Structure 1
Amino acid sequence: MATNTQKPVALVTGGGSGIGRATAVRFAELGYSCVVADIDEQSAKETLGMLQTPGIAVQVDVSKATSVEAMVTAAVQRFGRIDCAFNGAGTDGSYAKIADHPEEEFDRIMSLNAKGVWLCLKYEIAQMLQQEPVVSDPARWADKPDVCRFCGMRGSIVNASSIAGLVGLEYNSPYCASKWAVLGITETAAAEYAKDGIRVNAVCPAATDTPMLDRAKEKFPPAIRVQADPERFPFGRIAAPEEIAEAVCWLCSDACPFTTGEHLKITGGL
């Protein structure tokens, strides 16, 4: 058991743009050292240049075990441990009804969005299990010895699901399947590792102002273009990536030590 006297370490996949970039920036603002991972190494390096704390940029293909294992190894070699991880890497894919969707497109999206999260969890959790539990603020929990943050935490992980993991969306069956799968994987991992001091949660954003959404809108069939219409949302706008990043960092923080196996719906009132 140890008290955390050095900067905590956060690993962010998909950190080269959008929600991943915003999350890495926010972790750094909160004092975390950051591992920024993306399939586009140059974009990860650009994010790294925005951070106020030490960090490294790592190229990763989350659909490949060897690449994910190498990412975790690089993080540990540089910083010694991983306290938090946001598994944000993913893709949207193409848009068609089920009868018209190519089988290979289903396999590709599931490999990145679902298997990718599973692989990241596999290697992140394996590393966290080797780490000594950390008590970040012993005085805060001294009168509550059963609170898990007092007992010590080995790590906290947040996975990127989506509103598409909560409801079916037309023309989007592979993406929906992948994001529903993320929630099942999240709840399973949370149940398996809670007693080891590892929390696992998920965020489920609706339309968010990211490059991925911009690319997706160019492919939207007319029937689903309303999904990203700001007027559809009670606020009259879609989410900013920084708003999702705040939720991720909160789920990784000491503020919710009893929260695991949960998904946080962030849909602006939809």
Structure 2
Amino acid sequence: MATSTRKPVALVTGGGSGIGRATAVRFAELGYSCVVADIDEQSAKETLSMLQTPGIAVQVDVTMTTSVEAMVTAAVQRFGRIDCAFNGAGILGASARIVESPEDAFDRVMDVNVKGVWLCLKYEIAQMLQQEPVVSDPARWADKPDVCRFRGVRGSIVNASSHAGVNPFLYHSPYCASKWAVLGLTQTAAIEYAKDGIRVNAVCPYVTATPMLTLLKEQSPPDIQHMLDATGHPLGRHAAPEEVAEAVCWLCSDACPFTTGEHLKISGGL
């Protein structure tokens, strides 16, 4: 077991835009070295240029085992370990009621949003299990030997679910199903690896001002457009990606060592 005296390392999938980009930027502001991964390598490189700390941009297709494994390998080869991961890569899918939804569209959403998270968990956790637990501040916790911070942690992971993962959302049954599934994966991984010093949690943002919101507005039928209107929200606005990023970084940090298997709604009162 070691005391952390180096920059921690964060891996972010979907880091080329939206919440993923904001999260990578925030990790860097907090002093993390960052691995920015996205299926669009150019957008990942653009995010990398925004960071204040060392990092690398990696092209990844989260639906492919070889690609996810290569992403984790690249992170470890560059930085030696992965302390935190945000599995933020995901897609919305087409807008349609169940009867009109094509089967291949369902398969694609589940492949990216569920299998993608599962594959990332699989290889991130496998790496974390090989890592020596790190104690952030042993002197502070010397009289509390059972507290997680004193015992040391191997890693912390946050998965991107959604408000649609805890509530129904019209015309987007594959997306809802996928985000509910992410919560199941999160809770299962959390209890399977809790004693190994690995925490796994999820965030469930409501409508956030990202490129996905633009797509959602363009393809959604008129009868749900009011749900996307910021003026109807209790706070009178959409969430900013940076607000979700703050929650992700907090869940990844050692500020909440007893928090695992949880999902944090970021919905402004909804």
TM-score, normalisation: structure 2: 0.99
Question: How far apart, in 1, do the equivalents of 2:118 and 2:140 lie?
Answer: 34
Give the structure 2 partner of residue 257 of structure 1: 257
1:160-189 CA deviation, whole Å, 9 max, x = no partner? Answer: 000000011110100000000000000000
| Matched AA of 1:140 | R
Match of 1:111 in 2: 111
SS in structure 1 at match of 2:139:
helix
Q: In the alignment, what sits opposite 1:60?
A: 60
Which residue identity lines up with residue 225 of structure 1 in the other structure? Q
Shift of 1:70: 0.3
- Alignment partner, residue 236 of structure 1: 236
Match status 1:136 vs 2:136? yes
**Partner Cα distance (2:6, 2:205) in 1:** 32
Residue identity in the other structure for 1:25: V
Unaligned runs of 5+ in 1: none
* Residue number in structure 2 paired with 1:154: 154
C-alpha separation in 2, matches of 1:19 and 1:227: 20
Matched, 1:190 2:162: no
Whole-angstrom distance in 2 between the partners of 1:142 and 1:238: 43
Map 1:10-25 onto structure 2 (within 5 A): 10-25=10-25
SS in 2 for 1:140: coil
Q: Secondary structure at the match of 2:258?
A: coil
Whole-angstrom CA distance in 1 between matches of 2:160 and 2:57: 20
- 1:204-255 per-position Cα deviation (integer Å, ceiling 9, x unaligned): 0000000111122111111211221102211100000000000000001111
| Aligned positions of 1:1-270 closer than 5 A | 1-270=1-270
SS across alignment from 2:140: helix
Cα shift at 1:136:
1.1
Matches of 2:115 and 2:162, distance apart in 1: 16
In 2: Cα distance, 1:226 partner to 1:36 partner: 34
Q: Matched residues in 2 for 1:26 and 1:139: separation?
A: 27
**Structure 1 CA distance for aligned equivalents of residues 231 and 140 of structure 2:** 44
The amino acid of 1:168's aligned partner reads P
- Structure 2 gaps of 5+ residues are none
In structure 2, how many angstroms separate the alpha carbons of the residues matched to 1:202 and 1:55? 24
Identity rate of aligned residues, in percent?
80
Deviates more, 1:115-124 or 1:228-237: 228-237
Structure 1 stretches of 4+ with a deviation exceeding 4 A read: none
- The one-letter amino acid of 2:68's match is V
CA RMSD of aligned residues (A): 0.6
